[in-house]
Chain A
Amino acid sequence: MKPAPFEYVRPASVEEAISALTEGGYAAKALAGGQSLIPAMNFRLAQPAVLVDLGGLDELRGIHPRDDGGLVIGAMTLHREVEHSSLVAEHLPLLAEVMPWIAHPQIRNRGTVGGSLAHADPAAELPSVMQVLDAVLHVQGPDGVRTVPIDEFYYGLFTTALEPDELLTAVEIPPLPAGSRSAFEEVSRRHGDFALAGVAAVVQEAEDGTVARARLSLLSVGDGPVLAERAMACLAGRTLTAESIREAAALTSEDLDPPGDIHASAEFRRHLAGVLTTRALDRLRA
């Protein structure tokens, strides 16, 4: 279990990194924290010809507050930094809540926010969390900088809006609208394992106590983060009650076409998605 040979590039700037990726084309791969890529390389499933190590790009690190209470998190910011950030704890409790669910401390000490988001593993927690937080992704390529709303970022299994010569540089998260509450629920076989199913939820309450807007995104039950659109719609304008939650959970399960694996059949995943949706929404009842 040793990686196959590759050409190693350690760019000193984002521009250099992008030109290395451009030159390498499909055979090049960006190395962020390496906590998904290096195991795949050790198994020789991933055999990039060129490895562009982003480790030297300090400009991509850091958690920066926006004036309005939102945050901009650099792509190379470590999971650990997010986990222990007082800014995150204060402004985006959902993000703080989800961090301990991501693998183990040793992995979070190397793994990066951008790496997780760009890798687009369907079992990853961060894409769903970013989705319910309405994050916007900052992307840079040879032609310059662009932003992609999270709902337009995930295309399918391990596939995102990133072109091979583009880098995810940061994720920008707006502040939670007033009256919002969030919750995260997950079931995995062992602590730190890939989720069997999980759900991130944000519910914004109107002044009359009804749901102004709900965001529900599921993980490990599809090709990527799955927005529970019908469930979200069914909650809008209603109060969170046992009845409305049951309906939303049922719609969530119904709309899924989850994959099965040796740990959980498609049916079990669908069932878990409903249970977890119920639990998350229950927590959000006033």
Chain B
Amino acid sequence: MIIQSEYLFDADRPTVYAGLQNPEILARALPGTQTLEIVEGTRYAGEMVVSVGPVTAARFEVSVELTDLVEPESFTMLVGGKGKAGFVDGRADVRLEDRGAQCLMVYKADLGVGGRVASVGQRLLDSVGKAMSQRGLKAVDRMLQ
């Protein structure tokens, strides 16, 4: 599944870039994340509870790693999530651009989804992916204010 979209932050580029290295703020980017802690450097791990429509309270162990960091321009985010309902595995290439005092994030995520969520939820995957990423970024944006 490819999710390609963008988000306009109400904060400047360095703030956005720095914010996303902070596990507390980064956690907001992944809606439903209960905990996210630094494992080492820019590797994080935690737990996430997802409820979207028919899926209620699906628990996932998540891991996040930020790589190819080019401050304050771009980075790649490797995401893994694993739970009883299935798993998610993928990468998102993120680019930040100045938009005056604001910052535009352009991202392209390539996600593999497996298990039950994929096999019976295909109709909704695209929408869920888009909705969750936008919701997450909105939460990050609020946190940065």
Contact = CB atoms under 8 A, between A and B. Distances in A.
Contact of A157 (B84, B122, B127): B127
Interface string A178-214: 0000000000000000100000000000000000000
B120 interface: yes
B123 A45 contact: no
A142 interface: no
A45 B130 contact: no
Contacts of B85: 44-45
A40 B124 CA distance: 13
Interface stretch (A60-68, A100-108, A116-124, A274-282): A116-124
B117 A261 contact: no
Interface residues of A, number: 31
Given A45-B117, A45-B120, A223-B131, A40 B54 contact: yes
Choose among B57, B58, B84, B128 the residue with the greatest number of A CB atoms under 10 Å from its CB.
Answer: B57
- The A contact surface, by secondary structure, is loop
A261 B116 contact: no
A13 B54 CA distance: 26
Contact of A26 (B57, B116, B123, B131): B57
Contacts of B130: 259
Given A26-B57, A120-B53, A45 B126 contact: no
B123 A158 contact: no
Nearest to B127: A259
B56 interface: yes
A37 interface: yes
B55 A262 contact: no
Contact of B56 (A39, A47, A156, A262): A47
Contacts of A119: 53
A29 interface: yes
Nearest to A260: B126
B51 interface: yes
Choose among A36, A39, A43, A49 the residue with the greatest number of B CB atoms under 10 Å from its CB.
Answer: A43
B121 interface: yes
A195 to B, nearest CB: 11
Contacts of A262: 122-123
A27 interface: yes
Contacts of A156: 131, 135
A74 B58 CA distance: 32
Interface of A: 26-27, 29, 36-37, 39-40, 43-49, 119-123, 156-158, 194, 222-223, 259-263, 266
7 contacts: A26-B57, A46-B54, A157-B131, A194-B123, A223-B131, A259-B124, A262-B123
